[in-house]
Amino acid sequence: MKTNSRKVKVAIVGATGYTGSELVKVLLDHQYVAITSLTAKIEQESKISDIFGKFLGRCDLLCKNLDVDDVAKHADVVFLALPHGVSMHYADAFLKKGLKVIDLSADYRLKSLETYTKWYNIKHTDVKNIARSVYGLPEIYRAEIKNADLVANPGCYPTVSILSTLPVVAKNDIGLSDVIIDAKSGITGAGRKAVLSLHYSEVNESIKAYKINEHQHIPEINQELSNVDGKNFEVSFIPHIVPLNRGILATCYIKYREKLDANEIYNLYKNYYKDEPFVKVLDKGRLPEIKDVVYTNFCHIGLKVSEDKGLIVAVGVIDNLLKGASGQAVENMNIMCGFNEKEGLI
């Protein structure tokens, strides 16, 4: 951990969105960080505490429209809490000015330009930095993140989906035959925007599936599990919207062919995550609930194994705005800057 008294100066670009405001909240409790710049696409420059009353007296910085040169003068690290297709227009400029960049959009997650264009329907304008970026899932890439200057923060669905399946995919010798992920997310996962289908009266007292096997997070899940498995890995992914403010529950159905009993599977998960600060594998017989992880950076995983069917049901839960976005972004910043990984998050 860094021990000098100088705080790392941090800028948040996109501070008025859900992930941006969550970053402000988390970083205000970080003893080694000073928030020095807040920007967003905003009609009138305003104090962040006037936009979000919860920051009154805690953070009264003026939220301005983005000026890269001005932000760079006052920051060491910049978080890009921007929509997909927007971050790519700014990341390189900040990198050239010597800043560390943590991007919360999908712009630098996918290594295949063709795949990015297919799933996001956007032409990438910063191709040279795609190879430079490190996928920001510490449970896989901690060593690479430590030396990175551009981190692609994972999506919320991929985070919980990958963590819930990773130990058996990494084992690579149990004859995996199929992985089906049934995921349910709260409304904040769609971002802070005015869309009729996301209005309270449209989602309350209801649940719906959407983008079945068409969701833009599918190639991200496939990419990372393929990297671990060493083969072309493809999941079936069915997302749902549920009437919650925040949280994701992913039920992962993992079919395998080799003879493994339930105790071996439990021990596999327990051992895989025994040194991970933010992943907790529950004891046999316990399954996780969203209410246990909201407002935290933890991922809880519960297991049910049917030996006769060759089926592992892994249930993972996270807070989509923290371990699924802003909390994990701060976790990545801690690793990049040499802080304790848990700083500001526990």
Task: Based on the fold, state whether residues 85 and 136 are members of the same structural domain.
Answer: yes
Q: Each residue of 72-117: pLDDT tens digit?
A: 999 999 999 999 999 999 999 999 999 999 999 999 999 999 999 9
Coil, strand or helix: which one is 191? Answer: coil
Q: Residue 187: inside a domain, yes or no?
A: yes
Paired sense of beta strands 62-64 and 46-47, if any: antiparallel
The answer to whether residues 16 and 59 belong to one domain is: yes
Structure tokens at 346: 């526990």
Domain holding 35, by residue range, is 8-153+325-337
Beta bridge partners of 318: 248
Mapped onto helix, strand or coil, the DSSP state of residue 201 is helix
Query: Active-site residue 156, yes or no?
Result: yes
Q: How far apart are CA 221 and CA 66, in angstroms?
A: 32
The residue assigned the tokens 């498995």 is 229
First to last CA, the chain: 16
Tell me, what CATH number does 44's domain have?
3.40.50.720
Q: Do residues 174 and 307 both lie within one domain?
A: yes
Q: One of 59, 63, 156, 299 is an active-site residue; which one?
A: 156
Q: Same domain, yes or no, for 136 and 241?
A: no
Same structural domain for residues 144 and 289? Answer: no
Q: What is the CATH number of the domain that holds 268?
A: 3.30.360.10
Residues 137 and 188 both lie in one domain: no
- The pLDDT of residue 1 is 39
Q: How confident is the model at residue 202 (pLDDT cuts 50, 70, 90)?
A: confident
Paired residues of 148 in beta bridges:
none
Q: At 143, which helix (H) or strand (E)? A: helix 138-146
pLDDT digits (tens, 9 = 90+) for 220-259: 999 999 999 888 889 999 999 999 999 999 999 999 988 7
Residues 143 and 165 in one domain: no
Query: Whole-model pTM?
Result: 0.94
Please spell the DSSP secondary structure of 20-77, one letter per residue.
HHHHHHHHTT-TTEEEEEEE-S-SS-EEHHHHSGGGTTT--PEEE---HHHHHHT-SE
**Residue 240 sits in the same domain as residue 106:** no
